[in-house]
Amino acid sequence: MELPPRPTLFDFHGVSMTNYFTDNWDNIQKFKARPDDILIASYPKAGNTWVSYILDLLYYSHMSPERQDSVPLYDRVPFLEIHMARFPSGVEELKKLSTFPRIIKTHLPVQFMPKSFWEEKSKIIYVARNAKDTAVSYYHFDRMNMMQPEPGDWNSFLHRFMEGKMVFGSWYEHVKAWWKEKNCNSNILYLFYEDLIQDTEGQINRLCSFLGLSATAELIKQVIEKVHFDKMKTNNMVNGSLDEYLDLNISHFMRKGKVGDWKNHFTVQQNEQFDEDYEKKFKNTDLRFKTVL
């Protein structure tokens, strides 16, 4: 299939976006969330797929094994705001979904959320990852994902990341605004990618208690095994190999899965500039990230 040209970024109510995530805007804003919906929100490349798969297994691994072997994760956990010609939109996919609760993916900044999620008090899990590893992961993702704008070289990409000129806008604004929202909304659980790496079991238990799920020790053990990076990397239902927009000859969707890979990309000068800028942007928050373990 011939792919359309890569999209370009434009300003959408103060946030850089591409048409793939704004074309269906009215339907997204009118989306009817339900009280039992579970939304996994994150800035791109924070580990949304990882948490989606964890939740899918916790809720649905008792269903037919065929589902695990034949239904790609992007069909089990629809992407709310996506809208591409030739494919059903995320909103349409969600209307058709027959599993309850629905597990939903979004990258929307908090101010863009459809209001029904707040009205219905749906549970929201926000996943956040430190800026440096997010930037590196996003760079490699944009190299291989033909539905993203051209990344250019690493140095220019990093500067655009610092300026917030990325799809879904500024990482800094995204993570801080969701953190602020979490502080006044008990229906939001804020998870860190670094904690998931360091203590997968502890974070899965945190998820279960937030969702009121009583998973058996056996189920948790199975989930931990299945969501290990090496297992996910070879699982075609979750590793991006079925997505024709991803060019796996350029990079992998399940690329490295590490904390601290930024050290292999940042020069000393880039690191100094980044830290200086970061400090200014993070003055007004108590949100803190680990960049090494």
Q: How far is the CB of 22 from ligand A3P (least distance, A)?
A: 19
Closest residue to ligand A3P: CB criterion: 257
Q: How far is the CB of 256 from ligand A3P (least distance, A)?
A: 4
Q: How far is the CB of 238 from ligand A3P (least distance, A)?
A: 8
Residue 11 DSSP SS3: strand
Residue closer to ligand A3P, measured from CB, 27 or 205: 205
Q: How far is the CB of 280 from ligand A3P (least distance, A)?
A: 26
Choose, from 62, 83, 107, 174, the residue flagged as catalytic: 107
Residue closer to ligand A3P, measured from CB, 16 or 148: 148
- Provide the CB-side half-sphere exposure for 263 (13 A, CA): 6
Cβ neighbour number for residue 121 with a 10 Å cutoff: 13
Q: Which residues, 6 or more positions from 200, have their beta carbon under 8 angstroms from its beta carbon?
A: 224, 227
CA distance 230 to 142: 22
Residue 184 DSSP SS3: coil
Residue pair 191/51 in contact by the 8 Å Cβ criterion: yes
Number of H helices, E strands in the chain: 14, 6
Residue closer to ligand A3P, measured from CB, 100 or 229: 229
Q: Which residues, 6 or more positions from 61, have their beta carbon under 8 angstroms from its beta carbon?
A: 68, 219, 222, 223, 226
Task: Report which residue type is found at 162.
Answer: M
Residue closer to ligand A3P, measured from CB, 95 or 231: 231
Residue closer to ligand A3P, measured from CB, 29 or 293: 293
Task: Report which residue type is found at 186.
Answer: S
Element spanning 16, H or E: strand 15-17
Q: Binding residues for ligand A3P, per CB under 6 A?
A: 42, 44-50, 133, 137, 140, 227, 229, 232, 254-257, 261
Instruction: Judge whether 107 counts as a catalytic residue.
Output: yes
Which candidate, 156, 123, 151, 125, places its Cα nearest to that of 47?
A: 125
Whether residue 101 is preceded by a cis peptide bond, meaning omega within 30 degrees of 0, is yes
Q: How far is the CB of 254 from ligand A3P (least distance, A)?
A: 5
Could you list the active site residues?
107
